[in-house]
Amino acid sequence: MVFIHRRPTWAIAEHLATPESAFLNRRALLQSMGLGMATAAMFAGTRGARAQDADPTADLYPAKKNEAYTLDRSLTPEKINANYNNFYEYGTYKEIAANAQELKTRPWDLEIGGLVEKPMTIGFDDLVRKMPLESRLYRHRCVEAWSMTIPWTGFPLKDLVAFAKPTSAAKFVRFETFLDPAMAPGQNDFLYPWPYVEGVTMAEAANDLAFVVTGAYDKPLLKQFGAPIRIALPWKYGFKSIKSIRKIEFVEEQPEGLWQAIQPSEYGFWANVNPKVPHPRWSQAMERVLHTGDRVPTLLFNGYGEQVAGLYKGMDESTLYM
């Protein structure tokens, strides 16, 4: 994402220092417990291995493939996708994968509230087992004019809506990411109105393409992809696809997203992909395909017009693409 401001140098330094100082603190703790470096290294190794083995949803993967969602181009290799991310909670650059390992994904409770029959809090591990998991190949077009393709696993957003039982007063679904500056150093940056927020209309949420994502590449989501639960709205610019969701609310008012709040003249609520409507500071006509480096034409609704154009019939064209 591009946002016009000069980051104060102290903010960069503090941000980069944090994960390392966390490591140094762990080492100091083990030493103060009377354990030598060899033991410390062993501890660190076991911890890592256990954390992986212990993913309580690993048995759900690979999920059944939904053949209706295929692609006209090759998949972006996992190695490339997993090392080129936007996750501002862990840094304002693309190489945040290492920092994002600080994200603690268990326990992970989701709050479902607002205009619903009965507000609830549900553990992610409970929720995911109630939902019909499948895998789909999706495109992803970032507003910054790069794109990738990815095999997501998840379930239709409409199934989550049905589970939540919104009342007839609900007009939008509002999503919120966790807020925990100790776990996500980027959230100490006061220039951003944390937590990250995004939203869709009820009609958009009911569209088959709107997908709640719990895995990628046939396994539970890597932390840098927004574990344990995010969304994918492939006809919209990537910033709409909010990561690491903690709260889902049904509301009457159009939610204001983080990027919209920062720079409303550049990032709007609808953010549907359109090659003919430039971002105020760059063209959206072409995109750079992440894994090939090719520059290819961008398509209206990122190529998903057949499924989603109907959502916007009769609406003011000038508002839909920003």
Q: Which residues bind ligand MTE (CB under 6 A)?
A: 1, 85-89, 142, 177, 196, 225-226, 238-239, 241-244
Which one, 127 or 142, has the nearer CB to Mo ion? 142
Shortest distance in whole angstroms from residue 251 CB to ligand MTE: 19
Q: Which two tokens stand for residue 238?
A: 């990537």
Reduce the DSSP state of residue 220 to 3 states and report it.
Answer: strand
What percent helix, strand, coil does the chain show, rounded to 5? Answer: 35, 20, 45
Q: Give the whole-angstrom CA distance, residue 322 versus residue 320.
A: 6
Shortest separation between residue 178's beta carbon and Mo ion, angstroms: 19
The closest residue (CB) to ligand MTE is 238
Q: Which does 241 bind (CB under 5 to 8 A by kind): Mo ion, ligand MTE, none?
A: ligand MTE
Give long-range contacts, CB 8 A cutoff, 24+ apart: 161-168: 161/202, 161/205, 161/206, 163/112, 163/127, 163/130, 163/131, 164/112, 164/116, 164/248, 164/250, 165/116, 165/117, 165/118, 166/114, 166/115, 166/116, 166/117, 166/202, 166/250, 167/115, 167/116, 167/117, 167/250
Rank residues 115 and 154 by Cβ distance to ligand MTE and give the closer one: 154
Shortest Å distance, C-beta 225 to ligand MTE: 4
Q: Between 69 and 194, name the residue whose CB sits nearer to ligand MTE.
A: 194
Nearest 5°: CA angle at 204, between 2 and 261?
A: 30
Q: Does 234 bind Mo ion (CB under 5 A)?
A: no
Nearer to ligand MTE (CB atom), residue 57 or residue 81: 81
Task: Determine whether the annotation assigns residue 237 to a binding site.
Answer: no
CB of 306 to ligand MTE, least distance (A): 23
Sequence length of the chain is 322
Nearer to ligand MTE, 142 or 160 (CB): 142
Q: Does 142 help bind Mo ion (rule: CB under 5 A)? A: yes
Q: How far is the CB of 152 from ligand MTE (least distance, A)?
A: 10
177 is in an annotated binding site: yes
Minimum distance from residue 196 beta carbon to ligand MTE (Å): 4
- Please pick, from the candidates 239, 250, 267, 321, the single residue that binds Mo ion as defined by CB under 5 A: 239
Cis peptide, bond prior to residue 19, ω within 30 of zero: no
Q: Please choose, from the candidates 182, 172, 309, 163, the residue with its C-alpha nearest in 3D space to the C-alpha of residue 240.
A: 172
Query: How far apart, in Å, are the Cα atoms of 225 and each of 18, 158, 184, 242, 243?
Result: 20, 22, 14, 10, 7
Residues between 68 and 87 with contacts to Mo ion, criterion CB under 5 A: 86
Cβ-based nearer residue to ligand MTE, 1 or 22? 1
Binding residues for Mo-molybdopterin: 85, 88-89, 142, 177, 230, 241-243
Residues that bind Mo ion (CB under 5 A): 86, 142, 238-239
